[in-house]
Structure 1
Amino acid sequence: MSTLIKAARAALFAAAVALGGQASIAATPAEAARAALGRTATPAEVGAWDIDVRPDFQGLPKGSGTVSQGQKIWDGKCASCHGDFGESNEVFSPIVGGTTAADIKRGRVASLTGNQPYRTTLMKVSTVSTLWDYIHRAMPWNAPRSLSADEVYAVTAYLLNLGDIVPADFTLSDRNIAVVQQTMPNRNGMTLQHGLWPGRGQPDTRNTACMKDCAGTVKVASAMPAYARDAHGDLAAQQRMVGPTRGAAAASTPAAAAPDEKTGAKLAGQYQCMACHATDRKLVGPSFADIARKYKGQEVRDTLAHKIRAGGQGAWGSMPMPPQAQVSDSDLRTVVGWILEAK
């Protein structure tokens, strides 16, 4: 090694040490504490979360699936909520319908500006990647992320066929999905001519970010007036809640004190039973009061517990109830007892 190279390496090492010392001196105790929190995510952890698929198809995994394969998966895992042909609005808004061959040719759905009584997914969605990504991440509703990449391709192909976007013998894959994008009925439906997007408009406020000597407390300068707060009554009672929500109790119905122990009602909410059932009225499934009346005076606790655990359909109509294998035995007994006491 030449003397010149040795001297250069020594100079670089000295510079690095000096810069490192300056950085450590400049860091405040608060910054040092923040820097010590957590750790760098491993590649496996990043990969487990980094699953989104973009409109330019970045993130799309390799795979393929046929329309016929998608129909089998759909019938077994999707039709109970969306209908055999994606047309049902019993649980969710329809996925298929409202598009025409002219829409596919033009790339804009004409019925979005007409008197169409409802808007389906295929009427609104502009990118096929959105369909693929949502199915992959969030479906089926009771078992999200349980479909393989090939199954997602197949289900997406089946939906596209129902919308007359691809033929019945079509195989959707990572190699031809970009071509399919060019036939989406509303592919030209996204615009930038609204709101402050893409950022050339003027905001309504002139606030500046506080970088130092910021206020220690925040004062609420405006709020909904008291006379307007309860104008629409108890909104929670007017909607079918899916999961926890934020809100304030209506003045006419003050919030009840939370129970100290695990009750049937609390467990029914925890295990998402209330997404399909209500205490006193039919939603997707029967009300708990109807179940209690049907089995009044009968010893059916074990039967109902098995029914909840295994899932099934037929007793209250064609809509199936998904299995609830995650509920513990003790919680299951509590929920069944609470249901049978419902009024």
Structure 2
Amino acid sequence: MYSFRDPSKSRKPGARGLMLALALCAAGAVQAQGTGKYPGLGRDATPKEVAAWDIDVRPDFKGLPKGAGSVERGMDVWEAKCASCHGVFGESNEVFSPLIGGTTADDIKTGHVARLKDPGFPGRTTFMKVPTISTVWDYINRAMPWNAPKSLSADEVYAVTAYLLNLAGVVPESFTLTDQNMAEVQQKMPNRNGMTTAHALWPGPEFGKNAKPDVLVKACMSNCLPDPKVRSALPEHARNNHGNLADQNRLVGAQRGIQTAAESKGEPAAAAPAAAAVPQALLDKNGCTACHAQQQKIVGPAFADIAKKHAGKADYLSERIRSGSSGVWGNIPMPAQTLSADDAQTLARWLAEGAAQ
């Protein structure tokens, strides 16, 4: 039977002391929660939680971890994990803007990229614009590769950065980038002198004591132009005459084709076959929606198009998801994915059964 004796009279040694200690701990926890700016709400982040988020690297190199990576090592990492999207030499322009190109030896000497002011030069690469090497290192470390961000070690990030610096003509092939010599490399960045703080967008004495941010502009409310009106459009017989124009333009950049397919006019699309429920959690968890949409091509084909092309081929799709694929939907390959076999099979079955929303 249960006993309801007074705990203070317990025969077990230390029972009363144990209960007193627990009471004191509970009181201390309540008191700790009530000492902040918002009493009783939240807690301080642990050192490990702070360290997991505090990984940014500033232009003064604060936050840069110790490490080293050679150009040669960087080429190996690049070809294995980066070239599928950015090209072997950082020149990819099918989806992402080129990283390398447009800089010269004179730019490295002056710190100003001359072609940024040349209206005849066709594009703007990353190394034409970025003024600080810390920005390149930090972005690679936090966000690359896009399908597995933060998976590169510090040494691999140093190596990939060194490889890009070599492609840009900043360092030789024999160079090894380290946390100790990155400040020296900064003095060779092609556009290091191209950044200005004269805009006064941020407060602080380092931008001038009397600087005022440009946030006081008054809207012009006189002599306003009339609202634009569409005065020309494709005639009905010409719509989609040469295929959907939106599918014939790059999705990156200012030029985008108009939707001329039947769905753009409000006509219902063909009903998809019955399918399993959409595995949205898996799609989000594995970053599938970064390159695929339900009905529209982004980087890769639409889920609906995959479902039509490979209907009933769950095993085939599962293998392609895990091992990667190239040449089926164009020149842009899909890297191999790291999800489990069960997750891949779930996604593949959803696609094979119609990819219903």
Under TM normalisation by the shorter chain, which class is it? 0.5 to 0.7
Please state if 1:35 is matched with 2:50: no
Distance 1:51 1:265, change over 3 A: closer
RMSD: 3.9
- Alignment-derived partner of residue 143 in structure 2: 138
- Alignment-derived partner of residue 128 in structure 2: 123
Please state if 1:307 is matched with 2:320: yes
Match of 1:62 among 58, 66, 75: 66
Please state if 1:102 is matched with 2:106: yes
Q: Please give the residue correspondences for 1:170-319 in structure 2 after superposition, counting only pairs within 5 Å.
A: 170-194=175-199, 196-197=201-202, 198=207, 199-201=211-213, 203-204=215-216, 263-264=277-278, 270=284, 272-278=287-293, 282-288=297-303, 290-295=305-310, 299-319=312-332
Distance 1:330 1:292, change over 3 A: closer
Counterpart of 2:47, as a letter, is P
Q: CA deviation at 1:277?
A: 3.5
Q: Structure 1, residues 160-183: CA drift from partner, whole Å, max 9, x if none?
A: 000000001101001111100000
Q: Structure 1, residues 116-163: CA drift from partner, whole Å, max 9, x if none?
A: 211110000000111111111110000000011110000000000000
Q: CA deviation at 1:90?
A: 1.4
Q: Is the 8 A contact 1:305 1:336 kept in 2?
A: no
Larger mean CA deviation between 316-325 and 116-125 belongs to 316-325
Q: Distance in 2 between matches of 1:63 and 1:276?
A: 32
Larger mean CA deviation between 313-322 and 101-110 belongs to 313-322
Counterpart of 2:57, as a letter, is V
Q: Is the 8 A contact 2:113 2:190 kept in 1?
A: yes
Q: Is the 8 A contact 1:264 1:337 kept in 2?
A: no
Q: CA deviation at 1:280?
A: 5.7
Q: Structure 1, residues 217-266: CA drift from partner, whole Å, max 9, x if none?
A: xxxxxxxxxx78x9xxxxx999969xxxxxxxxxx97xxxxxxx984495
Q: Distance in 2 between matches of 1:288 and 1:265?
A: 12
Give the TM-score, by structure 1 length. Answer: 0.68
- Alignment-derived partner of residue 239 in structure 2: none
Distance 1:46 1:85, change over 3 A: same
Q: Distance in 1 between matches of 2:43 and 2:298?
A: 45
Q: Is the 8 A contact 2:199 2:214 kept in 1?
A: no
Larger mean CA deviation between 275-284 and 133-142 belongs to 275-284
Distance 1:167 1:276, change over 3 A: same
Q: Distance in 1 between matches of 2:309 and 2:217?
A: 59
Match of 1:165 among 154, 166, 170: 170
Q: Structure 1, residues 9-49: CA drift from partner, whole Å, max 9, x if none?
A: xxxxxxxxxxxxxxx9xxxxx99782321111121221111
The number of residues matched between the two structures is 273
Q: Is the 8 A contact 2:318 2:347 kept in 1?
A: no
Q: Structure 1, residues 89-120: CA drift from partner, whole Å, max 9, x if none?
A: 11211100000001000000011111221111
Counterpart of 2:182, as a letter, is I
Counterpart of 1:134, as a letter, is Y
Q: Distance in 2 between matches of 1:202 and 1:184?
A: 29
Q: CA deviation at 1:334?
A: 2.0
Q: Is the 8 A contact 2:317 2:348 kept in 1?
A: no
- Alignment-derived partner of residue 338 in structure 1: 354
Counterpart of 1:71, as a letter, is M
Q: Is the 8 A contact 2:313 2:352 kept in 1?
A: no
Q: Is the 8 A contact 1:67 1:170 kept in 2?
A: yes
Q: Structure 1, residues 54-89: CA drift from partner, whole Å, max 9, x if none?
A: 111111111111000000000000000000000111
Distance 1:203 1:312, change over 3 A: closer
| Secondary structure class of the residue paired with 1:47 | helix
Distance 1:31 1:65, change over 3 A: closer
Unaligned stretches of 5+ residues in structure 2: 1-30, 219-226, 231-245, 253-264, 267-274
Q: Distance in 2 between matches of 1:112 and 1:99?
A: 9
- Alignment-derived partner of residue 325 in structure 1: 339
| Secondary structure class of the residue paired with 2:353 | helix
Q: Is the 8 A contact 1:265 1:338 kept in 2?
A: no
- Alignment-derived partner of residue 161 in structure 2: 156
Give the TM-score, by structure 2 length. Answer: 0.65
| Secondary structure class of the residue paired with 2:108 | helix
- Alignment-derived partner of residue 49 in structure 2: 45
